[in-house]
Structure 1
Amino acid sequence: MDDAFITDFAPRPVQEPHFEPVMPEARRGRAATANPDGRFETVSRERFDDGWDLDDDLPTLATEVQVEKAKTIITRNTSPDVPFERSVNPYRGCEHGCIYCFARPTHGFMGLSAGLDFETKLFAKPDAPRQLARELAKPGYKAKTIAIGTNTDPYQPVERTWRIMRQLLEVLAEANHPVSITTKSALVLRDLDLLSAMAEKHLVKLMVSVTTLDRKLARAMEPRAATPPRRLETIRTLSEHGIPVGISVAPVIPALTDHEIERILDSGKAAGAREASYILLRLPLEVAPLFKDWLLEHHPERYRHVMSLIRSMRGGKDYDAEFGKRMKGSGPYAWQIARRFELATKRLGLARRGGALREDLFQPPDGAGTQLNLF
């Protein structure tokens, strides 16, 4: 998703609805309140009262998974404000359904909505492990740490069935290829055997994302992700198995979760985290109206304050996509958040960025789709 193409939505009065919400009964267990049409669609739809007094209650939205066959699996990144050059995404869309997820607009490229479609209509890439082996085996390939979980969570619930992430790790472990993983799921503990073996060779590190310690808020904001205590327990277990693990306070939401920064870091350190990071809330494209409607439904009394602080850190807009600013924001309030994080990590002895992983152990996979010599 290229943030260079992000535009901004004009502020709207609190009392005005932005789009027709889906009935609560149908979206139980989901974060988005609506399913607006994708931004590339040529037609739009809206519900209306046809005058018939009929029971039109819809069943709860189920998760659907389609197979996606990508031409390549390693994505190259040139953004100057993210700490990785290569990434792999085994899934498109995310069942965790985090209302703030900056990846929601990518569903527009599939002709789907960034709202409920993003949480319920997923795409799996079962060929990803085989494609990864092919790409690692290409002549001249040089190992660089591959980041997984930077777009959608590789350990979201459907991974229990599809096991694509497990197979990707097997390919990387066999090739002694370094990998960094970000997740908010306890399912990562399923792969302790692979992760422990890779950690012994300094080939892996993990970041567990904790947005809030408030279980009720987390349930509304990240409905199908692990509970905050379960994420902290995941950090503890990974640490006990010798796997380098950090805690990511992401995103920091002003006037909603920012007061928890120190408590989250304290809890992460106590659980065994070695490093820490944070990202300020980002509201690109469709994420802005979706987040606003969620905020109006769950915390209407904080709406004006939250949005006022967000705009104070985004040059008066809902979002500023400028490199160097999009992750941390600008202005006095953003500066205050950065200083609080800096002081807390220094007090706790948490690294701001962990040590580099080994790249010199890499061995290309054998026979991974490479062409044999003719003679």
Structure 2
Amino acid sequence: MPAPLPPHGRGSRLNPGNRFSDWQRDGFDDGWQDAGDTGPPPPATILLVERSRSVISRNTSPDVPFSQSINPYKGCEHGCAYCFARPGHAYLGLSPGLDFETHIVWKPDAPEILRRELASPRYRCLPIALGINTDGWQPVERRLRLSRHLLEILCETRHPVSIVTKSALIERDLDLLSDMARDNLVNVMFSVTTLDPQLARKLEPRAASPARRLAAMARLHQAGVPVGVLFAPLIPAINDHELERVLEASRQAGATQAGYVLLRLPNELKQLFADWLDSHFPDRAAHVHSLLRQMRGGALNDSQFGRRMRGQGVFADLYSQRLKRICARLGLNRERLALNTTAFRPPRSGTADSPQMPLF
């Protein structure tokens, strides 16, 4: 029998304990469950405020095409069952399960801090990736507008930015994106994992439908914004057969860049994804795990640079060859987009409304 489904609109039904805690929860049947009881209502979203000393994170990873990033949010309402960022919620004293989807941390002072960091005489302009760990345009962004405020500062200072999202909400900021595109300051990659709306509803319960994402991609392309597609994650025996179809549909919507990432299962994500498989695909759960182990050196996860995004072995090589062939046929990845860093102008001293002029 399949495991019970997650709460409506959520990706995980589990809320495992925090691995850094001194105690752990363990559920049990106390005999009081009424057969007619439908259970508690779906959990609501709770917003938590975080105060930061800096907002620009830096990395030296050879696996990602950026060295600077900003994450306006921790946790994500999209509820993607496979999200590699889920284990990070443990550092907040929260669970990577339902807490990750329902307890969203945001940084209201992030725009002020970003302005201060960009104004520093020691700052060196390099492209910033906005909303990489969790989606900067997830549902709460509609009312908080935090990603937009950050994008406004990047636009004002003519700072290059790259974006990855699966939200059609990014269309709201087309005025800023098209302005930046004129100076080669922006590119937007849409994460599209499937064209099947039923599968998408299981994988990403609160994300925009695949068709809606492609429509947003086309609208940005028509406005002159460079767009691309990330088939991420590629999950063997679940969505891997759609790689070519997704790239074809994205090319029609204006994509010029394409890539994929093999499913990653760090820390608690192994348990969470296994439960998701038992809920939605119990007939092929063992097969999915077997294929992953064949591409991860016998384990379910491999954190080594150079392998963690693509895997290794026969099946990993096959996926890589498929990507190269479809990209060659569609004319994708012909040129590597290099964003312009020469137009950057540091923000003025003081606040955005300050009349104070710089001394030099």
TM-score normalised by length of structure 1: 0.91
Residue 228 of structure 1 corresponds to 210
Residue 275 of structure 2 corresponds to 293
Alpha-carbon separation, structure 1, partners of 2:155 and 2:14: 41
Residue 34 of structure 1 corresponds to 14
1:59, distance to aligned residue in structure 2 (A): 1.9
Does 1:95 find its partner at 2:77? yes
Residue 76 of structure 1 corresponds to 58
Q: Of 193, 201, 204, which residue of structure 2 is paired with 1:211?
A: 193
Q: Is the 8 A contact 1:276 1:352 kept in 2?
A: no
Residue 150 of structure 2 corresponds to 168
Q: How does 1:84-163 map to 2 (within 5 A)?
A: 84-163=66-145
1:202, distance to aligned residue in structure 2 (A): 0.6
Alpha-carbon separation, structure 2, partners of 1:53 and 1:94: 31
1:150, distance to aligned residue in structure 2 (A): 1.5
Q: Is the 8 A contact 2:158 2:345 kept in 1?
A: yes
Q: Is the 8 A contact 1:130 1:368 kept in 2?
A: no
Write the deviation string for residues 276-324 of structure 1: whole angstroms up to 9, x where unpaired.
Answer: 1111110000111100110011001111111111000000000010110
Cα gap change, 1:344/1:373 in structure 2, threshold over 3 Å: closer, same or farther? closer
Q: Is the 8 A contact 1:176 1:362 kept in 2?
A: yes
SS in 2 for 1:79: coil
Cα gap change, 1:353/1:146 in structure 2, threshold over 3 Å: closer, same or farther? farther
Please list every run of 5 or more consecutive structure 2 residues that lacks an aligned counterpart in the other structure.
Answer: none
Please list every run of 5 or more consecutive structure 1 residues that lacks an aligned counterpart in the other structure.
Answer: 1-14
SS in 1 for 2:284: helix
Write the deviation string for residues 237-264 of structure 1: whole angstroms up to 9, x where unpaired.
Answer: 0100000000111110011111101000
The letter of the residue matching 1:28 is H
Q: Is the 8 A contact 1:137 1:368 kept in 2?
A: no
1:56, distance to aligned residue in structure 2 (A): 8.3
- Equivalent pairs counted in the alignment come to 354
Does 1:308 find its partner at 2:285? no
Cα gap change, 1:61/1:169 in structure 2, threshold over 3 Å: closer, same or farther? same
RMSD: 2.0
Alpha-carbon separation, structure 1, partners of 2:318 and 2:326: 12
Cα gap change, 1:241/1:56 in structure 2, threshold over 3 Å: closer, same or farther? closer
TM-score normalised by length of structure 2: 0.94
Residue 263 of structure 2 corresponds to 281
Alpha-carbon separation, structure 1, partners of 2:32 and 2:249: 54
Alpha-carbon separation, structure 1, partners of 2:93 and 2:103: 11
Alpha-carbon separation, structure 2, partners of 1:208 and 1:135: 28
Q: Of 229, 233, 240, which residue of structure 1 is paired with 2:222?
A: 240
Q: How does 1:48-67 map to 2 (within 5 A)?
A: 48-52=28-32, 57-67=39-49
Q: Of 229, 235, 254, which residue of structure 2 is paired with 1:253?
A: 235
Alpha-carbon separation, structure 1, partners of 2:270 and 2:30: 31
1:48, distance to aligned residue in structure 2 (A): 2.1
The letter of the residue matching 1:276 is A
Write the deviation string for residues 125-162 of structure 1: whole angstroms up to 9, x where unpaired.
Answer: 11111110100000121110000122000000000010
Does 1:46 find its partner at 2:29? no
SS in 1 for 2:162: strand
Q: Is the 8 A contact 1:178 1:359 kept in 2?
A: yes
